[in-house]
Amino acid sequence: MGKLISVAILFYGLAFSVAADSFTSAFGQKFVKIKSGHFMMGTQNFDLLAKEVNPERLDHLKKELPAHKVTISKDFYLGTTEITQGMWFEIMGYQPGKEIRWQREEWKDLPVSRIGWQSVKKFINMLNDMDDDYRYRLPTEAEWEYAARAGTNGLRPFKYEDMAEYAWFRESSDNKPMPVGTLKPNAWGLYDMIGNLWEWVEDSFDADYYKTSPATDPKGGELSIRKSMRGGSYHCTPERARVGIRGSYVEHKALSVLGFRLVAEKK
């Protein structure tokens, strides 16, 4: 308990660096403003995807259909990177996941993993109790994809042959997580939206949700213990490292390939 109190005092003792379109939080996370707008959610290029994916897998990927127009009605701030092990340890005071990742020289800059959706909520509650200016939360699935696409509508917001410049996937990562923010960002200044770690989002998962999704600010399927995750990971083969891919996992369990990033909103 004493450790967490000292962390809170440290938190309050730090100042926010604020700019018009970005700020850095007291716990060291940079956020950029994602402006409201419209986009096509889901996979439009299914014929192109079929050329990359084993035909036996295509039925499984129909949860990415149909592509549909979505409006994000309000600006929001999104973390430029996934939450790191260093940030998690500073706030929560313990080291989840594989011990070998905490022994690496760059351990503080690795994305934190093996944290369940419920544990992420505890982390967020800690931040919200400490910060008088901003409220933190997970992005919705729609917000996540809107930001990951960064104004594009293809399978990826970069050329397939340039993937290793933007995303950590199995062939480029040596099959292990890498320090955040070390590759190129997308056009909106966001790193590792594809690859490195899958990312928890707020929504309960529904494989058929795109068929009935609201056109404005969709928030996911009916409440369930299975939550959506997005973006693929360092362990994924190239065809799975793309914007439209959807996954899910039960909220009280954790995976070594699964982490998260945060949205910030003014209180």
Reported as a single tens digit per residue, the pLDDT across 112-166 is 999 999 999 999 999 999 999 999 999 999 999 999 999 999 999 999 999 999 9
Per-residue pLDDT averaged across 25-29, rounded? Answer: 94
Q: Please tell me the predicted confidence (pLDDT) of residue 165.
A: 98
Q: Please tell me the predicted confidence (pLDDT) of residue 20.
A: 60
Q: Quick one: what percent of the chain has pLDDT higher than 70?
A: 93
Q: Which residue has the higher pLDDT, 50 or 187?
A: 187
Is the domain defined by 2-266 classed in CATH 3.20.20.70? no
Among 16-25, 170-179, 234-243, 244-253, the least confident range: 16-25
- Is the pLDDT assigned to residue 38 strictly greater than 80? yes
Q: Which residue has the higher pLDDT, 8 or 192?
A: 192
pTM to 2 decimals?
0.91
Per-residue pLDDT averaged across 45-64, rounded? Answer: 87
Q: Quick one: what percent of the chain has pLDDT higher than 90?
A: 86
pLDDT, one tens digit per residue, over 205-256 is 999 999 999 999 999 999 999 999 999 999 999 999 999 999 999 999 999 9
- Is the pLDDT assigned to residue 11 strictly greater than 90? no
Identify how many contiguous H helices and E strands the chain contains and give both numbers.
8, 12
Q: Which residue has the higher pLDDT, 215 or 54?
A: 215
Confidence of residue 50 (pLDDT cuts 50, 70, 90): confident
Per-residue pLDDT averaged across 16-30, rounded? Answer: 77
